[in-house]
Chains A and B, each alone.
Chain A
Amino acid sequence: MLKKLKRLLKDLFGKKDEIKLGIYGPPNTGKTTLANRISKEFTGEEMGSASEVPHETRVVQKKEKVRLQSDGKEISMNLLDMPGISTKVDYKEFVDHGIDEEEAKVRSKEATKGVVEAIKWLDKVDAVLVVFDSTNNPYTQVNVTILGNLEAKDIPIILVANKTDLDDAEPESIQDAFPQYNFTEISAKENENMANLYKKIIESV
């Protein structure tokens, strides 16, 4: 009830001309692929390079003035692709991906700074897409921490079950783990169900 009242007051007095939409989640859930998909659709340009190597995005990537349209409605937003949040960064993991040791140590340091930066941005975003890899167990402390912080700040959240094109995807497990949140499933890579996500973004802000 308290939340509904807050939302109503925000709708009446707090509408922003431009919202900051953060894309959050653990590493390798497809955040950059999703950011690129949205950016390409509405600006014609991609935002960053996606990779199977974890922590490819190590600083916040921004795309300003993205005019997202759905069902005749439009919002203007700054799209923010966040570094993946994790509790550990081991340089040996980069070495296992074929990166030489010195470069791996540099990447590792950058990745830790990226995680801290992403956490600090939790205070500054207006709405968030929390991206899950549908093939992994969604109930992790990283996801619980991201969602708990956003909820405490009353920031609108959409859970995005990504990678539904994969054979072992179980998007329903995400909804089961966090049934209280707005939810949608997509494949950013295959451009599946993106229209539904755009609609939900506009509805949530």
Chain B
Amino acid sequence: MAKKKSKKKKSGVKIEFISRVKLHEKEFEEKLELIMNGVKDENILVLEEALNAQEKAKLIEKSMEECDEDFPGIEFSGFDSRGNWIEKILYQITGRERKDGLLIVGSSDIMEKVEEDKDAISMIAKLE
């Protein structure tokens, strides 16, 4: 279970980069817990891995379940893995999915999305 949001006042925003190697060792539920704990600590996480659509839906669900007066939810963005049709068929056969890409996620009270498209993202971290 993800921890409660940190109440300690911070002087800045910590940005945590998590490598593909570290993520590769983890099951999705563990990654979800890692993300939720990180955002509730008011960190911005940059994961060297993309989530697929089902995983993103789980991330939204989880953040909604954890929402309360102190934690209004998350903002996330990233670059998705762009597998071609051969890779998609291989995934259906083998279950091994390409995860290259990027995920940036943070609590919505410190992270604001400015603009996003397939190839570019800009965000503002609010320092209060």
CB distance from A139 to the nearest CB of B (A): 5
| B residues 2-51 touching A (CB-CB < 8 Å) | none
Identify the stretch in A62-70, A84-92, A195-203 within 8 Å (CB) of chain B at 4 or more residues: A84-92
The answer to whether A177 touches B117, judged by C-beta atoms less than 8 angstroms apart, is yes
The answer to whether A145 touches B56, judged by C-beta atoms less than 8 angstroms apart, is yes
Q: Is A151 an interface residue (CB 8 A)?
A: yes
Chain B residue at smallest Cβ distance from A122 = B57
Q: Is A194 an interface residue (CB 8 A)?
A: no
Out of A2, A85, A139, name the residue touching B60 (CB < 8 Å).
Answer: A85
CB distance from A78 to the nearest CB of B (A): 22
Given A89-B72, A90-B108, check contact A116 B61 (CB 8 Å): yes
Size bracket of the B interface: 20 to 34
The answer to whether A90 touches B117, judged by C-beta atoms less than 8 angstroms apart, is no
Inter-chain CA distance A49–B115, complex, in Å, is 31
Given A141-B77, A145-B56, A149-B57, check contact A87 B63 (CB 8 Å): yes
The answer to whether B53 touches A144, judged by C-beta atoms less than 8 angstroms apart, is yes
Q: Is B90 an interface residue (CB 8 A)?
A: no
Contact indicator per residue, chain A 1-36, by CB within 8 Å of chain B (1) or not (0): 010000000000000000000000000000000000
Residues of chain B at the chain A interface (Cβ within 8 Å): 52-54, 56-57, 60-61, 63-65, 67, 69, 72-78, 80, 89, 108-109, 113, 115-118
Residues of chain A at the chain B interface (Cβ within 8 Å): 2, 85-92, 105, 108-109, 112-113, 115-116, 119, 122, 137, 139-142, 144-145, 147-149, 151-152, 177
